[in-house]
Amino acid sequence: MYKITVIPGDGIGPEVMEAALYVLEASNLEFDYINAKAGNECFKRTGTTIPDGTISTAKNTDATLFGAVTTVPGQKSGIITLRRALDLYVNLRPVKSYEGTQCLFDDVDFVIVRENTEGLYSGVEEYTEDGATALRVITRKASERICRFAFEYATKTQRRKVTAVHKANVLKKTDGIFKETFYKVAENYPNIKLEDFYVDATAMYLITRPQDFDVVVTTNLFGDILSDEGAGLVGGLGLIPSANIGEKNGLFEPVHGSAPDIAGKGIANPSAMILSTCMMLNYLEEYEEAQKLENAMVTVLREGMVVTPDLGGSASTMEMAREVKKKLKES
């Protein structure tokens, strides 16, 4: 039995989490769910966006499922705090076309490996007389381990190429270190093709020739932006899952936010949350169960009969979840 920390969050987080856990009931695995709190609603009740108890629980379970949280100005980000506390240095975001969705291309299948602990998200900011400054932190250690993860992931999943994305022509020292480290790590993987592009060129190439990409490794902010661009290629944020992975812990969450404008309406797309549970199952090395769940999800999307409004249907969140669970049981 696996112990799983469950953090529904707020907004549509609890709705998509309920859907994902409902679908998981049809798997052949047993889970012990431990509920924990984070987000704006948690702040209102406790005075903090993420209690120490939530962090402790996440550290001591097999994996964490995270829904979505609302972070208002002046609050610390619950998810960023959790990533740092667990040293989840990898943010893995697959971008894949699914039949039946409003994807711009039907043959996109690449993965963004985003460094998750530093860069402009290091949180070192201060006001000045004229405005404010932010410190961009790039270290050789973080660059090496994220690049190594990208090549190891490519090897393990039989992908052919790793692309480094940076802006070393302008950010000569910080991205210079990232680029230099990428090529140094690449020496250990002679069978994998490699290339590097500036981030602005990459943004264009994702639109004009996304099929050329396989594994993309990049720094924190660039990875965040490019993964949202990738979502636009394949039908929106409601279809993009993610994994946050460290040496000892894994946390799995949809890329979409808390969407407070539709919270409580029962129409949130559960696909990204369900696909995030697939990533969790792969992390737990339950590969067969992960594939069965993904196949069930893909079948529902392809048929397009019981899907939420953003996917062109009229189903509720839980109606779509029930359809996915039905397909999973049939498998």
Q: Would residue 22 show up in a list of annotated catalytic residues for this protein?
A: no
- Calculate helix-pair angle for 317-330, 271-283, nearest 10 degrees: 40
Give dist(CA 150, CA 178) in Å, integer: 13
Give dist(CA 295, CA 67) in Å, integer: 22
Q: Would residue 224 show up in a list of annotated catalytic residues for this protein?
A: yes
Q: Which of 32, 106, 200, 212 is catalytic?
A: 200
Give 265's contacts (C-beta < 8 A, 6+ positions apart). none
Question: Contact at 8 Å (CB) between 54 and 86?
Answer: no
Tokens 């040293």, located at residue: 87
**Nearest C-alpha neighbor of 298 from the set 16, 97, 65, 95:** 97
Question: Contact at 8 Å (CB) between 20 and 276?
Answer: yes
Q: Which of 62, 87, 214, 228 is catalytic?
A: 228
Give dist(CA 258, CA 241) in Å, integer: 14
Q: Which of 98, 121, 153, 283 is catalytic?
A: 121
Question: Contact at 8 Å (CB) between 100 and 94?
Answer: no
Q: Would residue 292 show up in a list of annotated catalytic residues for this protein?
A: no
Q: If 0-12 CB within 10 Å is exposed, 13-18 middle and 19+ buried, where does residue 270 land?
A: buried
295: amino acid identity, one letter: N
- Calculate helix-pair angle for 199-208, 220-233, nearest 10 degrees: 10
Q: Would residue 167 show up in a list of annotated catalytic residues for this protein?
A: yes
Q: Would residue 200 show up in a list of annotated catalytic residues for this protein?
A: yes
Question: Contact at 8 Å (CB) between 119 and 138?
Answer: yes
From residue 304, how far is each of 15, 24, 307, 322 by CA, in Å? 21, 21, 6, 14
Q: Which of 96, 167, 325, 327 is catalytic?
A: 167
Beta bridge partners, 2, equal 31
Q: Which of 224, 283, 292, 310 is catalytic?
A: 224
Question: Contact at 8 Å (CB) between 83 and 116?
Answer: yes
**Nearest C-alpha neighbor of 67 from the set 292, 281, 272:** 272
Q: What are the residue numbers of the active site?
A: 121, 167, 200, 224, 228
